């Protein structure tokens, strides 16, 4: 089994060889490591995508809007992901965002996952029949994920989820009331013991 360090380094170097700058390649290495750590097929997707763009490097995305498309051309998942991560705090006010015709969409996922941590918000990502819930870059819950490479997503929908408790106020009050049983008022004797602690005369 390959180590995560090997995965990171090889993904980074291969990305540089495919035309990305060293700075972007560094980000790609970390992203593929993250995907593989969560059990998602990062290497397969990256390998196929880099072979696809080796002869014609994709264009960077200049600005992210509520809806993002480039006519008949496919969006680069890496440049789209980097742009999303860079501007995530500004994008939160949009509530939801869509990207159209994205190549190898899984490669965009780790950038959005890191944005989830920066924003301190869960983010729901959906495309085709697949969905991901990103939890502050700590975990990724997936549904119907294809373990092979998916070369194109016609639409990627991204939704920022408002933070809220998973429990009712009543449950919280009941639990808190039970916890109060550990609150013990200091007695006079316990105060005296505390006052004399460490002052024993050994002479």
Distance from CA of residue 41 to its chain's centroid? 15
* Overall residue count recorded for the chain in this entry: 203
In this prediction, residue 189 carries a pLDDT of: 56
Give the Cα separation of 82 and 166 in Å (integer). 31
In this prediction, residue 144 carries a pLDDT of: 78
Residues 6 or more apart whose CB falls under 8 angstroms from that of 161 comprise 121, 122, 123, 124
Q: Give rounded-to-5 percent helix, strand, coil for the chain.
A: 50, 20, 35
Tell whether the model's pLDDT for residue 27 goes beyond 90.
yes
> Which of 64, 59, 37, 165 lies closest to 103 in space, CA to CA?
59
Tell whether the model's pLDDT for residue 40 goes beyond 60.
yes
pTM to 2 decimal places: 0.82
């Amino acid at each position: 089994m390959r180590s995560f360090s090997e995965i990171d380094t090889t993904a980074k170097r291969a990305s540089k060889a495919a035309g990305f700058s060293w700075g972007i390649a560094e980000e790609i290495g970390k992203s593929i490591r993250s995907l593989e750590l969560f059990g998602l097929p990062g290497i397969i997707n990256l390998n196929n995508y880099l072979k696809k763009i080796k002869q014609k490097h994709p264009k960077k995305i200049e600005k992210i809007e509520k809806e993002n498309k480039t006519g008949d051309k496919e969006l680069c998942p890496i440049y789209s992901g980097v742009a999303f991560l860079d501007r995530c705090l500004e994008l939160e006010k949009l509530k939801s965002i869509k990207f159209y015709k994205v190549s190898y969409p899984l490669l965009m996922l780790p950038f959005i996952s890191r944005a989830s941590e920066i924003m301190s918000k869960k983010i729901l990502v959906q495309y085709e029949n697949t969905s991901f819930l990103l939890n502050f870059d700590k975990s990724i819950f997936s549904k119907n994920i294809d373990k092979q490479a998916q070369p194109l997503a016609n639409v990627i929908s991204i939704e920022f989820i408002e933070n809220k408790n998973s429990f009712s106020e009543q449950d919280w009050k009941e639990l808190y009331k039970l916890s109060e049983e550990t609150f013990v008022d200091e007695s006079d004797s316990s105060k005296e013991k505390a006052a004399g602690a460490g002052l024993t005369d050994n002479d």
